[in-house]
A and B are shown apart, each in its own frame.
Chain A
Amino acid sequence: MSSVFVHIVDDDKAVRESLGDLLRSMNYRTTLHGSASEFLDVELPDAPACLVLDIRLPGTSGLELQEYLTRVNIRLPVILITGFGDIPMSVQGMRAGAVDFLTKPIRDQDLLDAVAAAIRMDQHRRQEVVQIAELQKQYALLTLREQQVVELVASGLMNKQIANELSISEVTVKMHRRSAKRKLGAKSVATLVRMVGVLRAQKRGG
């Protein structure tokens, strides 16, 4: 059994159990939930995962749950399950960023494809998160002066300009640069600039 999770939220016990059964037969680990609040109550395992979500749920609807997850920055890929006459809701769900929507009754291959795609997306996203976390950790190891120099390099300033800006000698700037590159593991200035870009985006994004 891999450590890849599929969370299933459907108010119909038979439906969520049989979908769970099917996904388990495809070697996914599954968690089953009868409602949005049940799902939110449990702690999610720290593993690549996706959410198979019934669009019609009593209480908090599937769409509302999807919206809530986006709002609280839980970036779990969502596959919507829709029934008869739910096309308008499905469209809304897709606009809100769902990976796919599947119409009941569901073909196993469709579910397999959708889940595989969603998991790939989540793995990719998780990898990014790990990389960013690593980067942030390394960045934190820089001295304040080194951080200042790196920021100015990323802003496109020449060494001489940076020296002027910080009222230090050009030689000292070069020294800080070398040190920062080593600490961050950046082989070139271009890599350094890209790293700063990712960090900045992360800071802005939340």
Chain B
Amino acid sequence: MRLEAADLHRTAADNRQMAAIESFAVKLENETVELELIAKAFQAIAKEISYGGLADALLKTALRHSGAVRGAVLLSEGGELLAKADATFPRERAKVFASQPSMREFQLPDDLSERVFMRQETVVRDGSRKGSAVTDRAECATGPDVTVLCQPLIHQGQTVGALYLESEAGPALFTPRCLSVMSMLASQAAVSFESAQLFEALRETNMWMVRGQQIGRMGSYRWNTRTLLSRASRECYRIFDIGLDVNPVPFEAFRACVHPDDLPDLEKALAGAVSAKSPFSHEYRVVHRDGSILHVVAVGQFDLSPAGDVELEGIITDVTEQKVSEQAVADARAALARAARLASLGELAGSIIHEVNQPLTAIRASADACLRWLAREPADTDEARRSALRVVEQSRRATNVVGGLRSLVRDSHLRFIDVHVNETIEEVLVLLKRELELAGVVLKTDFDETLPPIEADRVQLQQVVLNLVRNAIEAMAGVDGVRTLGISSKVADGHVSVSIADTGVGIDPASAEHLFAALYTTKGEGLGLGLSICRKIVGAHGGRLWAEKNTTHGATFTFTLPVRQFRRLSGSS
């Protein structure tokens, strides 16, 4: 504008017009400067998003622009002014939001408040210093008279507050131009107050959400499946221990937080959910920079972003504390189950021992008697013979007891139904999840998805898997380095075979067969029944169970089960 004015000056030919043009240019220049100042003031006011800041900005701009010495900005209490401003406002509820000098009380003369607030008039009037609303009465005895400007702040026809200014330079200061600028500022401010209120409400809502998420240890996120960037709430940053400056969060930064053991499954679950657009839910662990581990549950559902990208939106909950208490409960339950198992095994063992002990007692006594009959002078061979016969008879009885135990496992307890081997194993693995975690064992499964259902006793089969997996975990307990449990299934020749491989201490080839003998144990607290029972169960299904030493380290236990139980048709095997 100023350059244009200068060009105008240079290109002007008519000298007579010069003065007028010059005067116009000066005026224009003044107005331009003023407009720029006003624009800046508008910006300053519009930029403020809090009541306090807005009132301050309005007051500072008004004081600077008008040259007034004192002033104040009034608003109603509690941010309710826009909704509640009515005839009773503001004498009872007015609040000083900003003032210069700062003050606690603001005493607007009744007539002034009536005119400004009720009639929405802009009032300029001269008065003694006693009439000042912003000066403490004790101090105002002396001093120059003041001119007061009081301007209502009006938004959508309602008075929401007032701008109050005092000048000591007489009424000349508040020129019509000044008043019109003040009026513009006031209306801009009134609009801004509304935005500020909305913003405050938003901030409050947001604060509630942040606090709520903190308390609930729950963060919300939105993951763009195209850009792989995530936006997340503050609580998510805490849960994942990511700096707040990382925004949005790249997928790599997220990946780096996930426990390496859980990452493959998580990525698989994410990929599955993305391709199926199905609701996502997954539990995994997060590792913090200090090494501490959090358990989280992430849930989400798919949604289209405004840009048309597929986004996963959801919530991540930190369930570490729940896990700890769940763990305590699980520990107690496991201890109880172990005790119950031992007790029932104890009972079982007790009755087995009793059953075997009876013939054993008879054998021992008869054998001793036999020797005594023979040791007589002369030997009583008839009696000795009878005793010896009883030994033979009772040995047979003991054998029958053991045979009976075998048939106990083989026949009476098996209930054959169609069983999906993979599912059955997976159910066991769910039960053992915590044990695997605690033992630091990485699970690798390789299931043949084409396995046909087989005829088997599901519970007994799970017993076998449970035993073999527990053994594998125990075999790896004392081993340093990676502990991997590999479980695989396949089908061949009408049999399903399941292999359970560990990276534990392995087995001594010499003891490979002893392993399956009852009461044989290499463990401190074992009863030595586990593997023998496993073998009996598998045998009762018409399958086989064996152990092999792995070429690298550890051992593999494999069992096979026929798909169909022909055994039942062809009689006892």
Contact = CB atoms under 8 A, between A and B. Distances in A.
A17 interface: yes
Contact of A21 (B353, B358, B366): B366
Interface string A1-44: 00000000000101101110110111000000000000000000
A18 B361 CA distance: 8
A86 to B, nearest CB: 9
B369 A12 contact: no
A104 B358 CA distance: 8
A21 B385 CA distance: 11
Interface residues of B, number: 26
Interface in B279-323: none
A14 B386 contact: no
A169 B369 CA distance: 70
A106 B357 CA distance: 10
Contacts of B360: 104-105
B372 A18 contact: no
Contact of B372 (A17, A25, A83): A25
A: interface residue count bin: 20 to 34
Interface in A97-117: 104-108, 111
Nearest to B394: A14
A19 B354 contact: no
Contacts of A85: 350, 353
Contacts of B393: 14
Contacts of A106: 361, 364-365
Contacts of A22: 365-366, 368-369, 372
Nearest to B357: A104
B362 A12 contact: yes
B365 A21 contact: yes
B357 A83 contact: yes
A17 B350 CA distance: 24
A21 B386 contact: yes
A21 B373 CA distance: 9
A25 B388 CA distance: 13
Nearest to B380: A25
Nearest to A26: B372
B363 interface: yes
Contacts of B372: 22, 25-26, 108
Contact of B361 (A21, A25, A26, A105): A105
Given A12-B358, A14-B390, A108-B364, 11 more contacts: A14-B359, A14-B397, A18-B390, A21-B366, A22-B372, A83-B358, A85-B353, A104-B358, A105-B360, A105-B361, A106-B361
Interface of B: 350, 353-354, 357-366, 368-369, 372-373, 376, 380, 383, 386-387, 390, 393-394, 397
Interface of A: 12, 14-15, 17-19, 21-22, 24-26, 83-85, 104-108, 111
18 contacts: A14-B358, A14-B393, A17-B390, A18-B365, A19-B365, A21-B365, A21-B383, A21-B386, A22-B366, A22-B368, A24-B383, A25-B368, A25-B373, A84-B354, A84-B357, A104-B360, A104-B361, A105-B365
